Amino acid sequence: MCGIVGYLGFREPLPIILDGLRRLEYRGYDSAGVALNRNGCITVRKSAGKVAELAAQVESNPEYAGARAGMGHSRWATHGEPNDVNAHPHVDCTGRVAVIHNGIIENYAALKTQLQHRGHVFASATDTEVLAHLIEDFLRTTPDLYGAVKASLREVRGTYGLVVMDAHAPEVMIAARMGSPLIIGVGEGEHIIASDAAAIVAHTRQVVYLNDGEVSEVRPDGMRTSTIFDVPISKEITNVTIELSQIERGGYEHFMLKEIHEQPETIRNGMRGRLRVEDGEVKLGGLEHVRDKLVQAKRIVLIGCGTSWHAGLVGEYMLEQIAKVPVEVEYASEYRYRSPLVGKDDVVFLISQSGETADTLAALREAKRHGATVLGIVNVVGSTIPRETDGGMYVHAGPEIGVASTKAFTSQLTALGLITIMIARAKGLPREEANVLTRELASIPDKVARVLAQSDAIKQLAQEFKDSRNFLFLGRGANFPVALEGALKLKEISYIHAEGYPAAEMKHGPIALIDEHMPVVFVVPKDAIYEKVLSNIHEVRARKGQIIAIANEDDTEIDKLADHVIRVPRTYGFFGPIVNVIPLQLLAYYIAVARGTNVDQPRNLAKSVTVE
């Protein structure tokens, strides 16, 4: 979602800001802008479209050189369409105060009316613009920007990651956070404020994470922080561990393709030091202190959005069947408003790649309020969810830049597999049985690599289906969520309408859609319900649907029924979905490439959804 970059220091701000915005492009956005403080005057340039279009207008333009401080923003529209006027930064009517903002100001309409009565004239349809006017209004009676921003934020209801500049104070920038991440990179004689570490690591690894309700006054050579109610806070400087190479494409045409191919390694990283194969044991440091709670839990609730919710659906099969604990899987956006029946005997896992998804965070707080033990399964280290949970585990997939989640999904499944084995063992699963599972999990990276080796064949298949208007994905058991994920990947990046269904449910509706133009992807490994899925394949074949089967390497039966077969190695113990989803990721990717869409930044989507 929206991206923030602010720079204050001895260097020219514009190149640093544009580089930062480019590194945040992956989050998804539809317009961009910069504001620079030059000679006590704020110059703003904004543009609908991509950062490249903005850069073409400002790079090598003398009007934007020689600034003392500056900030840039990429906007994902919420209030007001994506155009030049609604893009950030926004300034007040005197041009003194400029703001960039991620989040939503919920009471903006009331504030706007009050400010208009006081003579403020608004230029845009955004909620953000009220902040610029409000701060300027307070500056008339407050001695400095720091005080004026805090006074303003005490009037505001909503969420924000916010950076503010004052034309009269080029040596100061204010950063504030409520529900939308903000990180301050600390350099020698310079500071970079950003919504994501990706915009900072090229310059410094030392960072300060702001918490909700905190405001920092940042200067080139120092900073101070307090709450919006003026209570001083001393902040710790921490080290970001991601490498620059991890957030670059490394020779691949798209980040998504790079991330698909990284999976043998990322899955291995998630298990490293945790899986003791021969002992049939799993050690998870971040869950050790809640081990008893997990073992005694009456129920486990898995909560997430999008792909992370799909991971939860697979987790339900693992945990119920192997760890013998009742599981519920919930959409975070529904859970938060449902007055859920949850309490101290429940363990709630929040599953999130970014650790920042607004709905997932709200669900976390709701479960916590009811006394449940709340735990995270998160990828981004240091993000908000792990900071608010009672414990959890990082999945260690590394930075995921492509908007459509791939490697984070398989890492989430790996994490759920590890948690399952840990609980099962603690509940008395014999070592020999656990050993079968640990060996199976350890074999997954090689099996994934075997599927990746078939990329060329999948690319050819994609050519054949690139003009299809609809797709159906079907699977059963733990492979039903794989079907959902396959459909989601395809619609996200190729814009082809796709639905995922439990294979047997097809006859209760989707079967009406099947004719010779409908491709149907079956995930059909040789498991206990294999024969049942074959019957469903017959039903599609009888109606002339085009059948693509994801089937095991040793399945000879399937060739007689399917038009196309993609082979996957056999996998036992509900870990099959980790392998079976790989061809679906590749199919979606190559179809999108064949259709010429923007694979890494599909239209309208955001990588991390930090608004409701």
What's the rounded Cα separation, in Å, for the pair 91 and 155?
A: 18
CB of residue 410 vs ligand G6P: minimum separation in angstroms? 13
Q: Parallel, antiparallel, or unpaired for β 69-75 and 546-552?
A: unpaired
Closer of 32 and 606 to ligand G6P (Cβ)? 606
Position of minimal CB gap to ligand G6P: 306
- Please identify, among the stretches 33-41, 302-310, 455-463, 568-576, the one whose residues bind ligand G6P according to the rule CB under 6 A: 302-310
Q: Residue 472: beta bridge partners?
A: 499, 520
What's the rounded Cα separation, in Å, for the pair 159 and 176?
A: 10
Supply the residues annotated as catalytic.
2, 607
Q: Is 67 helix (H, G, I), strand (E, B) or coil?
A: coil
Closer of 37 and 412 to ligand G6P (Cβ)? 412
CB 26 within 8 A of CB 199: no
Binding flag, residue 607, ligand G6P (CB under 6 A): yes
Number of H helices, E strands in the chain: 18, 27
Q: Bin 564: left if φ > 0, else alpha if -120 < ψ < 50, else beta.
A: beta
- Please identify, among the stretches 69-77, 195-203, 403-411, 565-573, the one whose residues bind ligand G6P according to the rule CB under 6 A: 403-411
Binding flag, residue 546, ligand G6P (CB under 6 A): no
- Selected from 124, 159, 266, 353, the binder of ligand G6P by CB under 6 A is 353
CB 164 within 8 A of CB 70: no
Residue 384 backbone dihedrals phi, psi, to 5 degrees: -70, -45
CB within 8 Å of 245: residues ≥ 6 apart: none
What's the rounded Cα separation, in Å, for the pair 85 and 77?
A: 12
- Please identify, among the stretches 131-139, 164-172, 397-405, 510-518, the one whose residues bind ligand G6P according to the rule CB under 6 A: 397-405
Binding flag, residue 360, ligand G6P (CB under 6 A): yes
Distances (CA, A) of 553 to 29, 353, 549, 558, 596: 42, 31, 12, 10, 32
CB of residue 67 vs ligand G6P: minimum separation in angstroms? 34
- Selected from 161, 280, 306, 312, the binder of ligand G6P by CB under 6 A is 306
Reported residue count of the chain is 612
Instruction: Look at residues 23, 41, 189, 225 and name the one whose alpha carbon lies nearest to residue 32.
Output: 23
Closer of 135 and 358 to ligand G6P (Cβ)? 358
CB of residue 608 vs ligand G6P: minimum separation in angstroms? 5
- Please identify, among the stretches 48-56, 262-270, 346-354, 470-478, the one whose residues bind ligand G6P according to the rule CB under 6 A: 346-354
- Selected from 307, 384, 411, 585, the binder of ligand G6P by CB under 6 A is 307
Closer of 16 and 606 to ligand G6P (Cβ)? 606
Find the binding residues for ligand G6P in span 404-423 (CB under 6 A).
Answer: 404-405
What's the rounded Cα separation, in Å, for the pair 234 and 569?
A: 53
What's the rounded Cα separation, in Å, for the pair 411 and 395?
A: 6
- Please identify, among the stretches 48-56, 221-229, 352-360, 416-424, the one whose residues bind ligand G6P according to the rule CB under 6 A: 352-360
CB of residue 357 vs ligand G6P: minimum separation in angstroms? 3
Contact residues for ligand G6P, defined by CB under 6 A: 305-308, 352-354, 357, 360, 403-405, 605-609
